[in-house]
Amino acid sequence: MYVTTFLRYIRLGGRCVSARMVQRRNLSGADAINALRPFYFAVHPDFFGQHPREREVNENSLKRLSGYLENLQKPGARSPKPANLTFYVRDTKEKADSSGRLLASGFRSVTFTLQSKDVLSTVLDVLRSCSLSVEHIQDVLKAETEKSSTQQPGTAFYRPIKWDKTYYTFTGFRDPEQELEQARRVEPTLSLWLRNNESEATKKQNASLPRREELKRLKRELIQKLGLLDIRWQRKWGVAHKCCQLQSLGRLSTQSPEALHILRGHVIVFTDQSGMNASGHVMLGTMDVHHQWTKLFERLLSYRSLFQRSDWLKERISHLLGGIQVIHIERMGPALPLEEHYSTLHTFHKRLLPQRLSLHPRSMQGLTMSLENDRSTPCLHEMGHFIIPTLCDTLQLQNFLQSQAQEARKRMRRKDKLEAEEEDIILCCLQDLSLHSLSKEPSVSSSQMIPCCRRLMEERSPQMQGLHLYISHFYSVMQDGDLCIPWDWKG
């Protein structure tokens, strides 16, 4: 449960706060997970794929730690019995800590006993026993104390979180501190930046070649073995992390083949939490352990049923709104769980039912709309799809759809033209510059990607030959040698 809650906490960008605020200098469940983040990255079983015994020890100890913390959070519960735990801790620093027994394999064995009576003391004991820093906990407590002293009763408050650097490496999120530092510097020209970074990118790319081949092999074999349609990743994780995730799934398919038969015909997406997303793809949480994945597979039939009911609601909404198609726009960041998507569709459908909208049955055919819970007024996106609030006034909705239908069709035609042009120019750019690959961040639009590729072909820098180029909003050499450049780079 604590690992699952940790993922939910990440999905909210680290800004959510538990309903139980820090009281008497104790930690809430969310605060405990935030404080234990460096610990989770140091002991998570998926990092011990080549060491099955140590992996099993960590998996069992994590379950016991989770239960211990849960008992401390239960109102009126008795103090849990002392728990003797053993973990194998990865060395995440350049040099190993002097404390603890560092093994030749790059991790050390740590054994300690939990007997604290509150969450804060337990978290401190865990971190100190593993020789991990506790300074960030003091920052959390200090921020909470300052806020609670000035906070009006019943009002929410905001507390910035300073994330551990390993969090960004593991999750694929970008480090805002690093981006801020990059923004403060004077942005170089593309040619200067390539001269300074091409050798590093080439070195990293060459070093990653065996891992890239291993990733292709693992993905191909798992798709064939499990009868999958595809395997995808929600974030731009490094190749090593992707291999680790596939190896974990491969071990589970060997240990419990009968549990994975139900995956046949599905798309698997490695992401922040386990479940099914709004598109009907099976999500495997990268921080979850095997028993949590197995529980998901056991619930997959009920998820399929919920997905079918979601499709039925979309059909009913389309019928009531003149044939418009309800879609879900995949964005960067956390995937939308199917439960939330169904709840949104159900709420919107209930609001439409009592109304008698005077939309012609086929007047909105060929158009698309998405639903959003945090919007108050409808709008038309530049790419031609309507964005509709879940609790939108139905009369206002009807008038808006009718008045903007022609403009929506115009924008959709423009979008189709831009996407076709983008596809063509990416192929030309790949060939002209002899790139190994060319891709972009989802937040880079077609209207941004097209001029970027044109300018790259005009620049024709020989330093990009044979490299993987990734168009984004900043300069960076990724851990596997991918060159990341802003779409609006300076010449």
pLDDT at 104 over 60: no
Predicted pLDDT of residue 147:
47
Q: Kindly report the number of other CB atoms within 10 A of residue 298's CB atom.
A: 11
Predicted pLDDT of residue 84:
80
Q: Using alpha carbons only, how large is the chain's radius of gyration in Å?
A: 25
According to DSSP, the residues that pair with 196 across neighbouring strands are none
pLDDT in tens, 46-70: 677 666 667 778 887 887 888 788 7
| Amino acid symbol at 216 | K
CA 99 – CA 131 distance, rounded (Å)? 7
CA 407 – CA 384 distance, rounded (Å)? 8
How far does CA 369 lie from the centroid of its chain?
A: 24
CA 440 – CA 419 distance, rounded (Å)? 13
Q: Helix, strand, or coil here: 386? A: strand
Q: Kindly report the number of other CB atoms within 10 A of residue 329's CB atom.
A: 13
CA 238 – CA 165 distance, rounded (Å)? 15
pLDDT in tens, 384-421: 999 999 988 888 999 999 999 999 999 999 999 999 99
Predicted pLDDT of residue 389:
92
Model pTM score: 0.63
pLDDT at 348 over 50: yes
Q: Helix, strand, or coil here: 367? A: coil
277 touches 337 (CB < 8 A): yes
Q: Kindly report the number of other CB atoms within 10 A of residue 421's CB atom.
A: 15
Predicted pLDDT of residue 62:
85
25 touches 120 (CB < 8 A): yes
pLDDT class for 168, splitting at 50, 70, 90? Answer: low
Closest CA to 226 of 266, 188, 180: 266
For strands 107-114 and 101-102, give the pairing. Answer: antiparallel
pLDDT at 327 over 70: yes
276 phi and psi angles, rounded to 5 deg: -130, 135
Q: Tokens 């804060």 correspond to what residue?
A: 120
CA 338 – CA 275 distance, rounded (Å)? 8
CA-to-CA separations, 5 to 30, 70, 219, in angstroms, rounded: 7, 11, 29
Helix 52-73 × helix 2-11 angle, to 10°: 80
| Amino acid symbol at 429 | C
- Alpha helices by DSSP H, listed for 277-337, are 290-298, 300-320
Instruction: Provide the mean pLDDT of the chain.
Output: 81
CA 205 – CA 208 distance, rounded (Å)? 5
For strands 386-389 and 468-472, give the pairing. Answer: unpaired
370 touches 328 (CB < 8 A): yes
User: 247 is written with which tokens?
Assistant: 């190896």
Burial class (CB in 10 A: 0-12, 13-18, 19+), 333: middle
Strands (E), 426-482: 437-440, 468-472, 476-477
pLDDT in tens, 195-239: 999 999 999 999 999 999 999 999 999 999 999 999 999 877 889
pLDDT in tens, 3-14: 444 333 333 333
pLDDT class for 326, splitting at 50, 70, 90? Answer: very high
CA 107 – CA 120 distance, rounded (Å)? 26
Cα-Cα-Cα-Cα dihedral sign, residues 97, 103, 108, 111: negative
pLDDT class for 164, splitting at 50, 70, 90? Answer: low
CA 326 – CA 350 distance, rounded (Å)? 15
pLDDT in tens, 247-287: 999 999 999 999 999 999 999 999 878 999 999 999 998 88
Q: Tokens 């910035």 correspond to what residue?
A: 160
Average pLDDT over residues 309-320: 95
pLDDT in tens, 126-151: 888 888 877 777 665 555 555 444 44
Closest CA to 486 of 435, 451, 436: 451
User: 483 is written with which tokens?
Assistant: 């060159």
User: 46 is written with which tokens?
Assistant: 């998926």
481 touches 208 (CB < 8 A): yes
CA 370 – CA 386 distance, rounded (Å)? 6
Predicted pLDDT of residue 151:
45
Cα-Cα-Cα-Cα dihedral sign, residues 161, 165, 167, 171: positive
